[in-house]
Amino acid sequence: MIKNELKSYLGRRDLKKTPEPGRGKYRPPWKEPVFVIQKHFATNLHYDLRLEVEGMLISWAVPKGPPEAPGTKRLAVRTDDHPLEYADFEGVIPEGQYGAGTVIIWDKGTYVNLRKEKEENTDMKKSLSEGKLEIWLKGGKIKGIYYLIKTGMQKDKEQWLLIKAKDEKIDAA
C-alpha cells in the first residue's frame, strides 16, 4: 500500500532549506525496479532501505542495518514514502529539518519481487498491503533473498522485520 503519495514527506520538508530532491518527477519504470540503502547519520544512526514501487520509494528505517547472516532478523520501521530521485541523494540535511544529518548511499542496485514469480497478480502493492514481501536484492554489498514481514504497529508506526533468507535458491548473479 502506498501510504500517502508523498504528502507526508513533502509536508515535512522545506525545499528552500534542504539540498534534497523535491517533487517526485515521474519517469517510466526501469526494467528492474531500484533499491537503495542510505546510511543516515541522524540523532540515531540508522539505515534507510527504500524500494521503488510505482514511481515512489517505499521506505523503512533499519536501526542496525540489513542482516547479512542467513536467518538473521532486524527491526525495520516503515517511514514516509520518498520521491524516486531520492535514490540518488547524498548530502547533509541541515539542523532543525526533518531527518537532519548526513546521508550517504551505502548500497544500491535493483530488486526482483519473488512473490510475483510464484503467485500470479502478487505485485508489490499487494505484498505491501499483506505485510509480506519476498525480494531478491541485487546490490553491491547486499545480494540475496530477503523477507520483509509486518509484525504490528507501535504508536502510529508500522513495525516490520527484515529477514535474510536461510537458503538461497537463486544463484546471486
The window from 24-32, 35-43, 90-98, 107-115 that contacts Mn ion (CB under 5 A) reads 35-43
Minimum Å gap between C-beta 48 and Mn ion is 4
Rank residues 45 and 153 by Cβ distance to Mn ion and give the closer one: 45
Planar angle of CA 131, 144, 91, nearest 5 degrees:
80
Task: Using CB under 5 A, pick the residue from 33, 34, 40, 56 that binds Mn ion.
Answer: 40
Task: Using CB under 5 A, pick the residue from 6, 21, 33, 48 that binds Mn ion.
Answer: 48
Tell me if 17 sits within 8 A of 97, measured CB to CB.
yes
Q: Which of residues 111-150 bind Mn ion (CB under 5 A)?
A: none
Give strand ranges (E) for the chain. 34-41, 46-53, 56-62, 73-83, 91-93, 101-113, 132-138, 143-154, 157-164
Size of the site for Mn ion (CB under 5 A): 2
Task: State which residue has the least CB distance to Mn ion.
Answer: 40
Tell me if 118 sits within 8 A of 46, measured CB to CB.
no
Site residues, Mn ion (CB under 5 A): 40, 48
